[in-house]
Amino acid sequence: MEPCRLSAKDLACRRGERLLFTGLSLELGAGQALHVTGPNGTGKSSLIRIVAGLLRPFAGHVEHSGSMGLLDERLALDEHLPLGKALRFWEQVDSCSDPAMSLATMQIEDLLEVPVRYLSTGQRKRAAIARLLNGGRNIWLLDEPFNGLDTQACEALEALLALHCGGGGIALVASHQSFTMDGVKTLHLPEFEA
Amino acid sequence: MSTLGALLKRDLAAFLPGSTRGNSLLPLLFFLAVAMLYPFAIGPDAELLAATGGGVIWVAALLAAILPLDRLLAPDVENGFFDQWALRGIAEEMVVAVRLLAHWLSFGPFIILAAFPASALVGIDNETLHTVLLGLLAGTPGLAAIGIIIASVTVGLKGNAALSGLLTIPLAVPLLIFGAGSLSSGGEGGIALTGAISLVLVAIAPFAGGAAIRAAREG
């Protein structure tokens, strides 16, 4: 597998009449992580969606090699189904052969029979992280991944991030919360405000 | 291939009657309810009923096809399913094509079956029933395609249920003219035209739907 890479040049993002940021460039190679910080409304989520290719940038372009996985506030799990069944759909789509590991890591094995709509905020987040893990993607795009997680789950996610980048993956984490990780770079979005 | 299978399985589980989402029997019951109410409204004039009954079955089929529109695509867009598919390189067109098949399977065959009891309720004869059945077979895929197109166009709108119903009706007029029109002309010409319109609609629906969902993402 060729090493994954993520680069963006001179990105600008416009939402409605407002230019959120401009002249933003980033360059991430295998094993690197970037923490995007900034107050609400500075464009953290928009940046993630632009990098994911879901939103067209107002200017600039994004290049990447390697598969991308997205984790945002939207769960993409069927609310009326038991969690196990809802996750199984993505396991089939991602051809994941061993989902048990990630379920154990996120401690959601006991919740598999519970319909998704009855899960708490933190439990939903953990399920979404399990889906991300099962996807086996090279480039992780995480939008506020620590929201709603308890201390223990936060530490688990930090460990997962370290493991992911240690294995040659890339992580782009947009979060107003700080987290500990060796070698993580920080990008403060307000510095690119127009 | 496994992706297609997984998509179709999920869609069928969500839309077929008796599925976990619960209200999937409604279009069928609605269809029968219209057929049942019609004789009450018109009165016991057997001749009049037999003359107009076939057309009523068509209108009932159209209304039944409109019912599930608001939950056809919008929930999956809101829940981020389409974003996740896009990141995996699964084209919106493919998802929409699979959804179109599942949507038709969820009401088409059942409405064709329900046309038997409905024909008894409105009192049409066997020959007319034959024309109605063939017409529904040719027309319901088109109704499903119109439904998918409208559902994808209204995907980002709040309270889209009423609006999508309203938008569907004018688009369905050609199907209704030729489909129900085949009853009075007694003929294959109308059914063939209904089938042709259906085929065109089915062919463009995945592309129109895919484009509409991508456009809604930019908003």
pLDDT tens, position by position, A31-57: 999 999 998 888 999 999 999 999 999
Q: How many whole angstroms separate alpha carbon B41 and alpha carbon B32? A: 15
Assess if residue A178 is contained within a domain.
Answer: yes
Structure tokens at B58: 């068509």
Q: Decide if A90 touches B, using CB distance below 8 A.
A: yes
How many Å lie between the alpha carbon of A71 and the closest alpha carbon of chain B?
Answer: 9
Whether the predicted pLDDT of B101 surpasses 90: yes
Into how many domains does chain A fold?
Answer: 1
Phi/psi class of residue A77: alpha, beta or left (left: φ > 0; alpha: ψ in -120 to 50)?
beta
Q: How far is CA B85 from CA A49, A76, B6, in A?
A: 14, 10, 12
Q: Decide if B90 touches A, using CB distance below 8 A.
A: yes
Q: Would the CB atoms of B87 and A69 count as touching at under 8 Å?
A: yes
Whether the predicted pLDDT of B219 surpasses 70: no
The whole-number average pLDDT for the span A103-130 is: 93
At A56-93, the pLDDT tens digits run: 999 999 999 999 999 999 999 999 899 999 999 999 99
Amino acid letter, B8: L
The DSSP string of B51-97 is HHHHHHHHHHHHHHHHGGGGGTSHHHHHTTHHHHHHHTT--HHHHHH
Q: What's A42's domain CATH number?
A: 3.40.50.300
pLDDT band, very low/low/confident/very high, at B13 (cuts 50, 70, 90): confident
Q: What is the pLDDT of residue A1?
A: 56
Q: What is the pLDDT of residue A22?
A: 92
Domain containing residue A194: 1-67+170-194
Whether the predicted pLDDT of B39 surpasses 80: yes
Q: How many whole angstroms separate alpha carbon A152 and alpha carbon B10? A: 33
Q: How many whole angstroms separate alpha carbon A64 and alpha carbon B38? A: 61
Whether the predicted pLDDT of A155 surpasses 70: yes
The answer for residues whose C-beta is within 8 angstroms of residue A62's C-beta and 6 or more apart is: A6, A7, A8, A11, A50, A51, A53
Whether the predicted pLDDT of A172 surpasses 90: yes
The whole-number average pLDDT for the span B157-185 is: 86
Assess if residue A27 is contained within a domain.
Answer: yes
How many Å lie between the alpha carbon of B161 and the closest alpha carbon of chain A?
Answer: 20
Average model confidence (pLDDT) for chain A? 91
In 10 A of CB B135, how many CB atoms?
28
Chain A residues inside the 8 Å CB shell of B81: 76
A140, A176, A144, A187: which is closest to A160 by C-alpha? A140
Whether the predicted pLDDT of A2 surpasses 80: no
Q: What is the pLDDT of residue B138?
A: 94
Q: Is the ipTM of this complex over 0.90?
A: yes
Whether the predicted pLDDT of B18 surpasses 80: no
In 10 A of CB A19, how many CB atoms?
15
Assess if residue A118 is contained within a domain.
Answer: no
Phi/psi class of residue A76: alpha, beta or left (left: φ > 0; alpha: ψ in -120 to 50)?
left
At A59 the three-state DSSP class reads strand
pLDDT band, very low/low/confident/very high, at B22 (cuts 50, 70, 90): low
How many Å lie between the alpha carbon of B89 and the closest alpha carbon of chain A?
Answer: 9
Q: Which residue's structure tokens are 């993402």?
A: B217
The DSSP string of B96-130 is HHHHHHHHHHHHHHHHHHHHHHHHHHHT--HHHHH
Assess if residue A41 is contained within a domain.
Answer: yes
